[in-house]
Every structure is written in C-alpha cells, then in structure tokens.
Amino acid sequence: MPDYIQDPNDSKKQIPGPKTDQHFDRFSSPVAYSGSLKQPSYVLITSAIVGGLGFYFGKSDSFSASSATERKATHTNDNTSPVLSGSQHYSQFNTLAAGQYSINPIAVSGSAVDVAKVKFVYKGGLDGMGRP
C-alpha cells in the first residue's frame, strides 16, 4: 500500500499516496541469448512465430548451472550474465499464433526476429508488490 499523504481538502484527514509502478502490469522484451529473466505471469506473442522458439521452464539456479557447464565445455571464460544456447535445454515451440499464452518460462531462445515477437508480462498487484 502506498504511503498516506495529507488530504488537500481537509488537513485533518489522510488519503492514499500515488501508486507505485508495481501496482500496474508491465512487460519485458527478452532478446535472443539474454539469459534468464524473472518468471512472467504470462507470455504475449505479438505476431505469428514461424521459425521456431524454445522456452526454458526450469529454475534459475539450474539454468545458471547448465550455463556454467556449457561455458566450460566450450572453454569460454566469459563470466557475464549466464547464457544457455544449447537447444536440448529448451522446450520447442515450432509455430505459435499471435496471442496470450499462460506459460511461465524464464528464458527464450530462437532467432532475433522471432524472439522480438515475445513479451514477458508481469501482473501488478493492489498491494504494490506485483504478482509472481
């Protein structure tokens, strides 16, 4: 709940302060090979996917562990954000129509053109804490 402020019409009363950003729905646009993100409330596909996508549905710690293993296997010592490019780790969705999907992946893999059509949507909450 936002902080209370003095009522501009009556100095003896208080009214709720302005809502925070977490009160409202928001979205994230993942990029190809971006690593893991916060699990969304749902996924929005803005236009049809024809080239195929992969979604990672595991936990972020297993994503990080698989990413570290992949980096060691390729002898890459890049310690930036964990990226997992191996398609065997992702559930494949070869074609998707535009629309809202009630799935909760933490990562997406595919061509930059198709990944740009994916939006992770996070629901806001009345308590200002957002929703998982």
* pLDDT tens for each residue of 56-74: 887 777 776 766 666 655 5
d(CA 124, CA 32) in angstroms, rounded, equals 26
d(CA 62, CA 95) in angstroms, rounded, equals 26
pLDDT band for position 27 (50/70/90)?
confident
Range from 23-32, 66-75, 93-102 carrying the lowest mean pLDDT? 66-75
**Residue type for 30, please?**
P
The residues, ordered by sequence, that sit 6+ positions from 119 with a Cβ below 8 Å of its Cβ are 27, 28, 29, 43, 44, 45, 46
Q: Which pair of tokens denotes residue 131?
A: 């929703």
Residue 90: count other Cβ atoms within 10 Å of its Cβ.
21
Helices (H), 4-111: 60-73
